[in-house]
Amino acid sequence: MAKKQAAEPEEVKLKKKVVAKRASHDNPKGDSAFRSLKKRLKREQRKRRALAQRKKQAAGSKVAATASS
């Protein structure tokens, strides 16, 4: 049985939380919870970009082979 996809991706949830925290704090740089939220968001973005890069790299040779024939 496959895992169910969340209705909203983790990255979108984290972006909303970061925006909300930034708006509610007068000094967000001193807040460790805010800093950890930003770290989690950056980690998710890196995962997404790495996955896209891997897919592009894997498809690159296949696309080039089919396009040349």
Q: Is the pTM of this model over 0.85?
A: no
**CA-wise closest residue to 12 among 38, 46, 41:** 41
d(CA 20, CA 56): 34
Average pLDDT for runs of 10 along the chain of length 69: 73 92 79 90 94 91 62
**What is the chain's Cα-based Rg?**
18
Token pair listed for 49: 């970009």
Q: What is the DSSP letter of 28?
A: G
Please list, in sequence order, all residues whose beta carbon lies within 8 angstroms of the beta carbon of residue 5, skipping any fewer than 6 positions away: none
- For residue 3, the model assigns a pLDDT of 72
pLDDT at position 32 is: 87
